[in-house]
Structure 1
Amino acid sequence: MERTPEVEQVLRIVRQVVAQHFRGPDEWIFRGAPLVDAIVAAVDEAGPAEVSE
């Protein structure tokens, strides 16, 4: 899927929300960052219809 400004904005919000729930660098490295990476990968692989649902 193309990374439009809207998609980039959503990904920034996701990163911020996830970061708020994982305190400390260790928790972020082992739990938060992989979650964000998985969300970004899912968005990149999805078609526009899948993302809008």
Structure 2
Amino acid sequence: MNLLKPTQGVFYGDPIDVVEEAWRNARRLGIKPINIRGRDYYIVPRSNAGYAGGMGG
């Protein structure tokens, strides 16, 4: 483990805040889960999802 390595993540901002916002949006938009092999998946629109990558974003 290299503790000097720059932080990488999949969220912009605090991950807990992002997830809470996604749940609020899902409820507000009435999004229902898609069940695949016994697991529920929620497709929640997010404006900047999927655009950043790599060490520097």
TM range (shorter): 0.3 to 0.5
TM-score, normalised relative to structure 1: 0.37
Structure with the higher helix share, 1 or 2: 1
Structure with the higher strand share, 1 or 2: 2
Higher relative contact order, chain-length normalized (CA < 8 Å, sep 6+):
1
